[in-house]
Chain A
Amino acid sequence: MKIVTKAFLRYLLRRRSLSVLQLLGIACGVAAVIGMGLSAQSALSSFSKAVEFLRGSSTHLIERPAGPIDEMVLAELIRDPSVDFFAPVVDRRVRLADSEAVRVLGIDPFLDRVVRPEISSAYFAERGRSARDEPFSFFTDERSVMVDSNLAAQLKLQPGSRLETSQGVFNVTGTFPNPSGEPLILMDILNAQKIFDLKGSVDRIDLIINDEAAFRSRWEKGFRIESKRQRQETLTALLYAFKLNLQALSLLALFVGTFLIYNTAMFTVVSRRRDAGVLRSLGARRYEVVAAFLTEIFFFGILGGALGAVFGHILSRFLTEIVGSTISTLYFFLKPSPQPWSLLTLAAGIALGCIASLLGCIAPLIELILTEPVKAIRGRVAYKGGRRKAGKIALTGTGILCAAAAFLLFSFYHVYVGYAGTFIFLLGVSLFTGLTVMFFTPLLKWLFSKIGGIQGKLAVANIRKNMGRTAVAIAAFMVALSMSIGLGSMIESFRHSLIWWMNSQLKGELYVSTRGDADVPEDFYEELKRVPGIGGIDTYRNVQVTYRGTPVYITAIDASILQRFTQFGWVSGGNENWEPVKQGSVIISESFSRRFNVKKGDAVAIEGIEETVRFPVTAIFYDYTTEHGLIMMDRSTYIRHFMDRTINSLGVFVDPKYPEREKVIAEVKRRAQGRNLPIATRSELHDTILSVFDNTFAVTRSMRVLAIIVAFFGIAGALMTLFVERRREFGIYRALGFSVRQIAGMTLFEGIGMGLVSFLMSTGVGTALAMILIKVINLRSFNWTIFYHFTLDPYLLAGITAIAASIGASIYPIWKVYRTYPQIQIREE
């Protein structure tokens, strides 16, 4: 059967345009999956590398449950027999002139020699080089820093350069290699303490200890001790929901990609039906015919998969940057480096291309080999059985939808169950495509015959009678458009929920130091309180603590001020909820409540500086600041239990009765600028939050675009296949008096018709998908409620995309019509 294989493979050259479209289709499907997967992998591995690099060879760290740690502790640590080495650290961030946030590590190079030999050796090497000039400038010059070589190259810095930051100008004394990929600035710990106003305190102490149990028994009270593994787990837990989100997007890409590859593989089989019949009539066995098909399909799978792996690798470089920027905005600074090209990527692409192709051709191949040769030899057949067949398929779809509903109902077990339910739902609704095409046929026939006359009418009939080909392409496109609508509606609803939340909670006229890179001195807070016309000032302190072994946040605020000036979104009750907070109770975010199943009236036990404190929960409020859970308490309660007076930012409320509101605002601004503290008006803060929100969904938006591109190739492939299969039919149309223009018009109407049906279906499916994403996936992943908000934009975008993509997909077949049919051609191929 070598000759048959040869015959099949020659089709690829003979129908070059179709082959290229099919190859691109598979490649795009694979690229979407590989690109998303690689960028997620880059982010997570960079994260591990960064943690590993910064922690060096330390085995543990010790810190206060909240806030900085007094450096007097160091004297006791020296004497502790379990401690072999220790290294105090100031770990802060500054903003560069381009507003990029960079980690600043204040270290003692001598104490760090064992704990972080890579960093300290860089320091000593640099000191050796600059020994003649200024051997101790790193210590003596308060503004002296070392910059990692990647950042130095990026900013064109060298020893002697000046680096402008939100904490003033730094003098670069040297550079050091940094394999973690995270931009890093080093300075002497004493200088860091001065710059960040941490007199006598450090953020944490990294340790190498020899007896953990003994050490813990001595330092349990008032401190948090974390092993390297625990630290990694804590940080990984912070990324959990984000990781889930990336995985979901990868799966989404896989779903659309597989759909498209399925489409391509199916076309290969159905368009070669007649050849299979001829072969069978000549005595070819079923398995021989199958083998010939599989050769072609695997050829596509391998080549398309390999191409997809290359595309995916390129795409991952772009996506990695977006993913890194999102993680940096939401969690902790991370600048992931794209994964290097690897043969494994190629293998994954090929495997994906082949598996999806195989999946795609199974059903039509089985159907083909079970068909009597005489039926196969007839080649392309009109979609028979019509409504009955479509009805049967839709009935199967109904069964699958029931399964999807069951999965979604049981999603409380794990969000993966929810994801499975979502994909099963999409699969189920896809099976309604045939029925939908039949349902819309009269309407489309009427519409297209009004617009395009006979060719419009015939185009609709062609879509209907070739449903074996068109339905899968319509379904693939419909799924892509539904995802666009679903994700778009979800994002829009989330945005509106966020705006509602901001308008209820962030009602201050001015906010001082909200960017997280400069704390507010307490005396400045006292000073502002005395400014005439100030109605109240809310102090804001946010710290990460551990609750039931996982990271959560405590926020200390001024309950009286918030009670007076804001209207929180309470799950139940109103501003009277603040009263118990003033007395020492806490309120918790909805995400905290759902995550730990803590209800109003329960108590949460948190490790304080002296003892474990049980805080009664007085109310639950809607919150979108963190999915990990938030415990909010009055500042006085916080100071009492955590001995931390740090203020991260201030919310300033002007007295509503004060006549000169603008004057007060100007005065606060003037005083903040005098202290070099960043200040933002309410609308500026809201805009910043919304811009962070929009950046966060950059990956999701990229996936929407990818899904559309993938689906575009689906439609283009379907149209091209129909064109190739119907060359003779087109000749007959010409013989009947059709002009080339009319045939081209018919092809265009077919494309638009398919796009239109896809869009009409996607409006319903997309809305349902949005509800699933909001009510099931988001709630389960992030534990917060998003309120559904209808906006027309995602639907308009999908509609425009559908029409544009179908017109775009028709262009090549139309060009082929003009090129191929200047004369009448009825001859068999």
Chain B
Amino acid sequence: MQPIIRVADLWKYYGDDEQGEPALRGTNLEVAAGDIIALFGKSGSGKTTLLNIIAGLDRPTRGRIEIEGQDLEALGEQGRTELRRTRLGFVFQFFNLLPTLTAFENVFLSLELAGLPDPAAAGAALTSVGLAGKEGRYPHELSGGEQQRVAIARALVKRPSIILADEPTGNLDTHTGTHILDLLVDQCRLAQTTLIMVSHAMITCRYAQRILQMEDGIIMEDRPCEAPGP
């Protein structure tokens, strides 16, 4: 079966030239559709860089990425934008909700961009993450956990095939973090959405089918759950 994500010999240097230490140094990865993956690694190992490049938010210095068989670079800016609109969802560590939109509007925005402006779907997505009755609240009126729930609803509402979550519990307490992971993974399993979670939290292991470890810009072979990075 064709992998939903294929990463081949990916290099990333920050800065104008290929000087200094690369953030990614020829990393490779294949992800099957519906996989739930936890990506561990020390700070600065290149996890977030990899996620950003897969999402088309950043561009690699060298290498190839295919999403559902399409070469990201060949898609061009417009194609990558289209991909993010319809096929990819992103959950950030710091939630990144638009502060001047209510919870409902933040979720609805995602539908509007995907060309599916269905208010009922936005409402249902918020209900599914346990925020029924809080649709009209602004981000600053919600707790950190609630804000991350809105972010998850925003990512899932357009029914993407892939969700990329960059330390989704990194800014939350353990209890809330567990709830968020429960929610995120359940929703992805329900919708058969591929999920890649970058994390430092050991607990993430419990939810993942595959555990990947990143060291110095390279994905090491899959490791058992007992040996995640710090």
Q: Contact residues of A with B, CB < 8 Å?
A: 1-4, 6-8, 10-11, 14, 274-275, 277-286, 372-375, 377, 827-829
Give per-residue flags for B59-103: 1 if the beta carbon is below 8 A from chain A beta carbons, else 0: 100000000000000000110011111101010101111111100
- Complex Cα distance, B90 from A8, in Å, reads 21
- Complex Cα distance, B112 from A285, in Å, reads 12
Assuming the contacts A3-B112, A282-B85, asked whether A8 and B100 have C-beta atoms less than 8 A apart, the reply is yes
Assuming the contacts A7-B98, A275-B98, A377-B96, asked whether A281 and B84 have C-beta atoms less than 8 A apart, the reply is yes
Report if B139 contacts A (CB, 8 A). Answer: yes
Nearest B-chain residue to A2, judged by Cβ: B112
Question: 19 more A-B contacts (CB under 8 A) besides A3-B101, A283-B83, A827-B140?
Answer: A3-B108, A3-B112, A11-B100, A278-B98, A280-B57, A281-B84, A281-B96, A282-B84, A283-B82, A283-B110, A284-B81, A285-B78, A372-B57, A372-B58, A373-B56, A373-B58, A374-B58, A377-B92, A829-B140
Report if B55 contacts A (CB, 8 A). Answer: yes
Give per-residue flags for B97-136: 1 if the beta carbon is below 8 A from chain A beta carbons, else 0: 1111100010011101110000000000000000000000
Nearest A-chain residue to B56, judged by Cβ: A373
Smallest beta-carbon distance B79→chain A, Å: 11
B100 and A7 within 8 A (CB): yes
Q: Which A residues lie within 8 Å of B200 (CB)?
A: none
A283 and B108 within 8 A (CB): no
Smallest beta-carbon distance B123→chain A, Å: 15
Q: Which B residues lie within 8 Å of A285 (CB)?
A: 78, 81
Number of B interface residues at 8 Å Cβ cutoff, please give it: 35
Report if B154 contacts A (CB, 8 A). Answer: yes
- Complex Cα distance, B85 from A315, in Å, reads 51
Nearest A-chain residue to B111, judged by Cβ: A3
22 contacts between A and B (CB under 8 A): A1-B112, A3-B105, A3-B109, A6-B100, A8-B100, A10-B100, A278-B97, A281-B57, A281-B92, A282-B84, A282-B110, A283-B84, A283-B85, A283-B86, A283-B110, A283-B114, A284-B81, A285-B81, A286-B81, A374-B58, A377-B57, A829-B140
Q: Which A residues lie within 8 Å of B96 (CB)?
A: 274, 277-278, 281, 377
- Complex Cα distance, B218 from A755, in Å, reads 50
- Complex Cα distance, B83 from A2, in Å, reads 21
Smallest beta-carbon distance B118→chain A, Å: 13
- Complex Cα distance, B110 from A301, in Å, reads 29
Assuming the contacts A372-B58, A374-B52, asked whether A283 and B113 have C-beta atoms less than 8 A apart, the reply is yes
- Complex Cα distance, B98 from A236, in Å, reads 59
- Complex Cα distance, B92 from A372, in Å, reads 16
A374 and B77 within 8 A (CB): no
- Complex Cα distance, B52 from A280, in Å, reads 12
Smallest beta-carbon distance A200→chain B, Å: 84
B77 and A286 within 8 A (CB): yes
Q: Contact residues of B with A, CB < 8 Å?
A: 52, 55-59, 77-78, 81-86, 88, 90, 92, 94-101, 105, 108-110, 112-114, 139-140, 154
Q: Which A residues lie within 8 Å of B78 (CB)?
A: 285
- Complex Cα distance, B99 from A11, in Å, reads 9
B55 and A281 within 8 A (CB): yes
- Complex Cα distance, B86 from A285, in Å, reads 13
- Complex Cα distance, B180 from A777, in Å, reads 70
B52 and A6 within 8 A (CB): no
Nearest B-chain residue to A13, judged by Cβ: B100
Nearest B-chain residue to A827, judged by Cβ: B140
Tell me which of B83, B92, B113 contacts A284 (CB under 8 A).
B113
B99 and A4 within 8 A (CB): no
Assuming the contacts A3-B108, A372-B57, A372-B59, asked whether A281 and B101 have C-beta atoms less than 8 A apart, the reply is no
- Complex Cα distance, B78 from A274, in Å, reads 20
Assuming the contacts A1-B112, A275-B98, A282-B110, asked whether A7 and B105 have C-beta atoms less than 8 A apart, the reply is yes
Q: Which B residues lie within 8 Å of A283 (CB)?
A: 81-86, 88, 110, 113-114
Q: Which B residues lie within 8 Å of A2 (CB)?
A: 112
Tell me which of B77, B100, B112, B114 contacts A14 (CB under 8 A).
B100
A282 and B57 within 8 A (CB): no
Q: Which A residues lie within 8 Å of B92 (CB)?
A: 281, 377
B94 and A828 within 8 A (CB): yes
Tell me which of B58, B101, B140 contacts A7 (CB under 8 A).
B101
Assuming the contacts A8-B100, A11-B100, asked whether A282 and B109 have C-beta atoms less than 8 A apart, the reply is yes
Nearest B-chain residue to A376, judged by Cβ: B57
Q: Which A residues lie within 8 Å of B83 (CB)?
A: 283
- Complex Cα distance, B99 from A372, in Å, reads 21
- Complex Cα distance, B25 from A35, in Å, reads 62
Q: Which A residues lie within 8 Å of B59 (CB)?
A: 372
B90 and A281 within 8 A (CB): yes
Smallest beta-carbon distance B106→chain A, Å: 9
Q: Which B residues lie within 8 Å of A1 (CB)?
A: 112-113
Smallest beta-carbon distance A759→chain B, Å: 36
B105 and A6 within 8 A (CB): yes
Q: Which B residues lie within 8 Å of A277 (CB)?
A: 96
Nearest A-chain residue to B89, judged by Cβ: A282
Smallest beta-carbon distance A389→chain B, Å: 12
Q: Which B residues lie within 8 Å of A278 (CB)?
A: 96-98
Q: Which B residues lie within 8 Å of A280 (CB)?
A: 57, 81, 84
Nearest B-chain residue to A15, judged by Cβ: B100
- Complex Cα distance, B114 from A282, in Å, reads 9
- Complex Cα distance, B82 from A14, in Å, reads 31
Tell me which of B82, B101, B140 contacts A6 (CB under 8 A).
B101
A829 and B113 within 8 A (CB): no
Q: Kindly name the residue among B58, B81, B94 whose own CB sees the greatest number of chain A CB atoms within 10 A.
A: B81
Q: Which A residues lie within 8 Å of B98 (CB)?
A: 4, 7, 275, 278-279
Smallest beta-carbon distance B9→chain A, Å: 20
Q: Which B residues lie within 8 Å of A282 (CB)?
A: 84-85, 90, 109-110, 113, 154
- Complex Cα distance, B85 from A709, in Å, reads 46
Smallest beta-carbon distance A293→chain B, Å: 14
- Complex Cα distance, B52 from A827, in Å, reads 24
- Complex Cα distance, B111 from A2, in Å, reads 12
Smallest beta-carbon distance B112→chain A, Å: 6
Q: Which A residues lie within 8 Å of B113 (CB)?
A: 1, 282-284
- Complex Cα distance, B57 from A454, in Å, reads 38
